[in-house]
Amino acid sequence: MCHETRSGPPAPSANFTERSAHGALKLVVVLLLLLSGCAGGHVSQGVKYSGKNTKYYTPLPIPVHEEKLMGMLETISALLGTGYTYGGTSVAGFDCSGFVQYVYRSAFGASLPRTSRELSNWGRKVSRSGLRRGDLVFFRIKGSRIDHVGIYIDNDLFVHASSSRGVTIGNLNNRYYERHFARATRLLEVRDRAR
C-alpha cells in the first residue's frame, strides 16, 4: 500500500524568477500552438493548471531510446531495498508515487504529477497483455480509488515502493496484485536511434 501526501508549492530559491520566466514562456508557446491549430498531435496533459499556481509537467509521450530504458533499469536496480517513507521522494525513502517520480526524473528528465491518482489519468491506457517496459501499473489497495503505482519491467514483474518492504519487485500474477490491479498507462514512446 502507498500512503501519499500532496506536495505544496516549491520553496523559493535563487533561480525562482528564472524558472518562473521560463515557465511563462512555455505557457505562451503552448497557447499559441493551440490557438493556431498546430498542436493537433500534441497531448495536452503536458500542462496542468491548479488554482493560482501553474505547474508544468513534461509533454507526453516522452520520446526515449532503448539506451534510456536500460538506464532506467540501472536506476531502479540501484534503488532496490531503499526504505519506505510516507511522502518520500528521495533515496532517503520513497512512497510509491515518489519512487515513480524519482525514476522518471532520473532516467528521462521528466516531471510527473505527484500522486498515484493523478498519475493514473496521465498517458495512454494500455491493456495488461500489452504492457511494455517503463509502463505504469496502478492498483486499488484500500478501496475504489487508485492508491498505488509501480513501474512495469518485464514478464509480469514490476517495481514499486511497498510500505512493508520498501522498493521491491512484485509480480502481477500474484493473487493479491491481480485482485487489486486497476489499470496501466504508457508515458513513453520508444524510438529507434536511426531516426
Q: Which residues are known to be catalytic?
A: 96, 148, 160
Non-local (6+) Cβ contacts of 183 within 8 A are 120, 125, 137, 138, 146
Helices (DSSP H) in 96-193: which residue ranges?
A: 96-108, 116-120, 175-180
Residue 135 neighbours by CB distance under 10 Å: 21
Closest by alpha carbon to 157, among 97, 60, 80? 80
Q: What cell was used for 168?
A: 521491491
Task: Find the helix or strand (DSSP H, E) in which 151 lies.
Answer: strand 148-154
Closest by alpha carbon to 136, among 60, 32, 83? 60
List % helix, strand, coil for the chain (3-state, nearest 5): 35, 30, 40
